[in-house]
Homo-oligomer: A and B are copies of this chain.
Amino acid sequence: MKKTGLTIAVVGATGAVGKEMLAALESRRFPFAELRLFASERSVGKSLACAGKSWTCAKLAKGAFQGVDFAFFDASDEVSREWVKEARDAGAIVIDNSGTFRMHPEVTLAVPEVNGARLKDLGPGALVAGPNCTTAQLVVALKPLHDRYGLKRVIVSTYQSVSGAGAAAIEELRSQTGDVLAGREARAAKLKYPIAFNLIPQIGGFLSGADEGTTSEEKKVIEETRKILELPNLAVACTAIRVPTVACHAESVNAEFERAPDPAEARRLLEKFPGVEVIDLPEYPMNLHGAGRDPVYVGRIRKDPSHPNGLQFWVVADNLRKGAALNAIQIAEALLA
């Protein structure tokens, strides 16, 4: 595989994650020579800057991936379903951030700090999936603790920003908030209910059958955490809540282990783990720290007083970066290494 002068494609270039992709390609100095941007009909012809050049958005079409080394998919599940095969058949390595292929047994679901070893020996035509943004930051924080104490159970309640629902939801929070402050009614459009000064305890759709009452977002966190940590029977519970923040997802985590964790040691293990930054007593991570930055921030690390082998902590990360764009580029970097 070529190591420099790469041709790369970004599908969904004008979306919330797509914009972060271009920023991350630039900041990580990803060794590309040609950048092909693909977007939906209404963005075709639009030019975006990356690495000192201007690149024009095109529509996906037969032959679009000829000569592409890496194709990053940051669009909808539908777009991935329709176009990933075309990209692989053209010989591109596909890194797909949609939910379409993550749980397929033959697809590597990768967070490089956690299961980067799984990326060895993948070459042209390979498909690697990136996890849900909520999962990504959770597994990064859990991995060093699992390695030391043996993870048995995770309970997570999330505080997810509107950026996870796309660029339109960010604009909706801003304009709705302005309306409420001006005494006007908050009207929901992209999200199901008003989000200004409100909390929405539903992300994704409600499932049925054995998962009745669970949302698709919560199910993703449960299944993807097990797959990435390679703990198929891990006990996981998740409650996913949309909160009126613009950037970053935060998570309140209660974890139980085989062996009793020591909070001071846990803090040191987290500090040493790649991709983690610890901000702890008397400070703690906030959305203000994480927005537009790469690390997964962990703090409020303390014993869980309700379980002898329990540990509690608070995780904050930019959901568009580690949760999507940055993670995808880290996957490509690992494949190049």
Contacts and interface: CB of A to CB of B under 8 A. Distances in A.
Nearest to A310: B237
Nearest to A313: B239
Contacts of A281: 206, 212-213
A199 B236 contact: no
A43 to B, nearest CB: 26
Nearest to A235: B306
A140 interface: no
A212 B302 contact: yes
Contact of A243 (B199, B237, B302): B199
Contacts of A197: 173, 244-247, 287
Interface residues of A, number: 57
Chain multiplicity (copies): 2
Nearest to A178: B181
Interface stretch (A11-19, A100-108, A151-159): A151-159
Main DSSP-derived SS at the A contact region: mixed
A310 B236 CA distance: 12
A130 interface: no
A252 interface: yes
A305 B194 contact: no
A201 interface: yes
Interface string A268-302: 00000000000001101111100000000001111
A312 B284 CA distance: 27
A263 interface: yes
Contact of A304 (B200, B237, B285): B237
B302 A214 contact: yes
A199 B198 CA distance: 13
- Which residue of A174, A198, A284 has the most chain B CB atoms within 10 A of its CB atom? A198
The 6 closest A-B pairs by CB, nearest first: A213-B302, A235-B306, A157-B157, A157-B252, A237-B306, A239-B252
Interface of A: 153-155, 157, 159, 173-174, 177-178, 181, 193-194, 197-202, 206, 212-214, 222, 235-237, 239, 241, 243-247, 250, 252, 254, 263, 281-282, 284-288, 299-307, 310, 312, 314, 316
